[in-house]
Amino acid sequence: MRRLALTVFATAAILVASALSSITARAQTEGAAPASPELVATLRARDAELFAAFFDRCDVAAVRAMVTDDFEFFHDKGGLTNTSGDSFAADLNGHCDRVKTGEDFASRRELVPGSVTTFVINNYGAMTMGEHRFYKLTPGKPDQLTETGRFIIVWKNDGGVWKLARVVSYDHHLARAPS
């Protein structure tokens, strides 16, 4: 009985040591490769394409095609606001309807120059982080800054097509009213 207990203990010790060395080996490996200039340019173009479809054209079908089925959107003001690509498209559709009736205003998004960084996520895609500004658009008037904020976008490389998988939009600040 004692011999069996020693054998079980020795086997367990070997398994634990093996697991710990595996964890240590992974912890000591290099991170993902830096984002290439081509990847940065591709994601910048995809970002511009998405927000043009969202704000400029209210093209719900185009936006829906650019997000994953399990898309999630986290917002510091609203919490977890979307948990699927379909719910995100439905929310955009509602916003577009409200803009048409004048219940909501048309707007545009502008990236803050020099603020966007891109990082590779191995075996998945990439993420971009940065700052952006939002403007109210009123025909015949200059664009009016309404808000600034920060964002993190997780992009999934879905068979060569870059799609939004997760968005965290945070640190929003209302613009000061013009004096």
In a domain, 179, yes or no: no
Farthest CA pair distance, the chain: 91
Q: What is the CATH number of the domain that holds 55?
A: 3.10.450.50
* Stated pTM of the model: 0.80
Radius of gyration of the chain from its Cα atoms, rounded to whole angstroms: 23
Mention every residue, 6+ apart, whose C-beta is less than 8 A from residue 137: 105, 106, 107, 108, 143
Give the structural domain span for 92. 36-174
- Same domain as 163, residue 91: yes
- Same domain as 139, residue 51: yes
- Same domain as 120, residue 102: yes
pLDDT, tens digit, for every residue of 117-145?
999 999 999 999 999 999 999 999 999 99
- Same domain as 81, residue 15: no
In a domain, 91, yes or no: yes
- Same domain as 44, residue 91: yes
Residue at token pair 């309807």: 97
- Same domain as 140, residue 110: yes
- Same domain as 75, residue 8: no
In a domain, 7, yes or no: yes
- Same domain as 125, residue 79: yes
Burial 44-59 (b: 16+ CB within 10 A, else e): eebbeebbebbbeebb
Burial 3-36 (b: 16+ CB within 10 A, else e): eeeeeeeeeeeeeeeeeeeeeeeeeeeeeeeebe
d(CA 93, CA 84) in angstroms, rounded, equals 14
If you average pLDDT over every residue of the chain, what do you get? Answer: 88
pLDDT, tens digit, for every residue of 46-82?
999 999 999 999 999 999 999 999 999 999 999 999 9
- Same domain as 170, residue 114: yes
pLDDT at residue 31 in the model: 82
pLDDT, tens digit, for every residue of 1-48?
555 444 544 444 454 455 544 444 455 677 888 999 999 999 999 999
* 171 exposure class (CB count in 10 Å sphere: 0-12, 13-18, 19+): exposed
- Same domain as 62, residue 19: no
User: How many domains does the chain fold into?
Assistant: 2
In a domain, 82, yes or no: yes
In a domain, 68, yes or no: yes
At 66, the amino acid letter reads M
- Same domain as 166, residue 145: yes
At 40, the amino acid letter reads V
Distances (CA, A) of 6 to 9, 11, 13, 14, 15: 5, 8, 10, 12, 14
- Same domain as 108, residue 146: yes
First-last CA distance in the chain: 87
